[in-house]
């Protein structure tokens, strides 16, 4: 287990869901030509970068185990998204995906794993790799499992109305709480910055 040096203070992260949150959810995204980033996605990520959050993508890709998505495709797609973000002055600090599914066709991926959201495996891996303070972190996504991940790590969750969000909003689980429900990731970022007083950079006196 890799532990960041003790002198490195832990930083809050904003964990982002991918499909339906930064790009259009087309079902099983398995071709680069089917990638459409939302028009606000790059600006939203750049705002989080500048505010001092680590930005970490956490995506369930059960389509790999279901043979709907080539295993290598995920890395190819994420490299393309990284390029588009970089062109807009934004970046993601870490990419994590879960290839498992309880009904996977690929035997070694057929599992009730500890990484498929709302399980916390991906967030815990990222916390270890990047030095994240989970209790000060957020999860933004278009499904309740994303909000639930935020709560399970001891942080906060925001539902966005893009992707499955509007449908999800209508089938809210009994007793489910949420920090905010926002039309898009741009609104979610505004909510986060507002709740956190401008974010960690501002709190450290580095804000612009
Ligand atoms: Mg999603
Ligand atoms: Zn998994």
Residue-wise pLDDT for 27-79, tens only, equals 999 999 999 999 999 999 999 999 999 999 999 999 999 999 999 999 999 99
CATH number of the CATH domain containing 148: 3.40.50.1000
Residues in CB range of 121: below 8 A, 6 or more apart: 98, 113, 114, 115
| 50 domain residue, yes or no | yes
Does residue 136 sit within a domain?
yes
Structure confidence by residue, pLDDT tens digits, 100-150: 999 999 999 999 999 999 999 999 999 999 999 999 999 999 999 999 999
By residue range, what is the domain housing residue 127?
Answer: 13-200
Please indicate, yes or no, if residue 207 is contained in any of the structural domains: no
Evaluate whether residue 208 is within a structural domain. Answer: no
In tens, the pLDDT along 139-192 reads 999 999 999 999 999 999 999 999 999 999 999 999 999 999 999 999 999 999
Number of domains in the chain: 1
Q: What band does 207 get if pLDDT is binned at 50, 70 and 90? A: very low
Say if 1 falls within a structural domain: no
Domain for residue 205, yes or no?
A: no
| Distance from Cα 20 to the centre of ligand 2, integer Å | 19
Does 7 fall in a domain? no
CA–centroid distance, residue 183 to ligand 1 (Å): 14
**Ligand 1 geometric centre to CA of 17 (Å):** 5
Q: Which residues are catalytic?
A: 17, 19
Residue 4 above 80 pLDDT?
Answer: no
Domain annotation covers residue 8: no
Ligand whose nearest atom lies closest to the CA of 18: 1
- Ligand number nearest CA of 108 is 2
């Amino acid at each position: 287990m890799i532990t960041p040096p003790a002198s490195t203070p832990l930083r809050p992260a904003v964990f982002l869901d991918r499909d339906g949150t930064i790009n259009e959810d087309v079902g099983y995204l398995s071709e680069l030509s089917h990638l459409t980033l939302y028009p606000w996605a790059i600006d939203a990520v750049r705002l989080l970068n500048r505010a001092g959050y680590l930005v970490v993508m956490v995506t369930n890709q059960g389509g790999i185990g279901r043979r709907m998505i080539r295993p290598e495709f995920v890395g190819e797609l994420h490299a393309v998204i990284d390029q588009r973000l970089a062109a807009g002055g934004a970046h993601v600090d870490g990419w994590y995906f879960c290839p498992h599914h309880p009904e996977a066709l690929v035997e070694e991926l057929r599992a009730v794993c500890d990484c498929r959201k709302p399980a916390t495996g991906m967030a815990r891996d990222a916390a270890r790799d990047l030095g994240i303070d989970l209790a000060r972190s957020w999860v933004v996504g278009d499904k309740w499992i994303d909000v639930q991940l935020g709560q399970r790590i001891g942080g906060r969750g925001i539902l966005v109305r893009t992707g499955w969000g509007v449908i999800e909003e209508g089938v809210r689980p009994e007793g489910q709480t949420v920090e905010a429900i926002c039309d898009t990731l741009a609104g979610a970022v505004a909510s986060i910055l507002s709740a956190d007083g401008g974010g960690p950079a501002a709190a450290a006196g580095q804000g612009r």
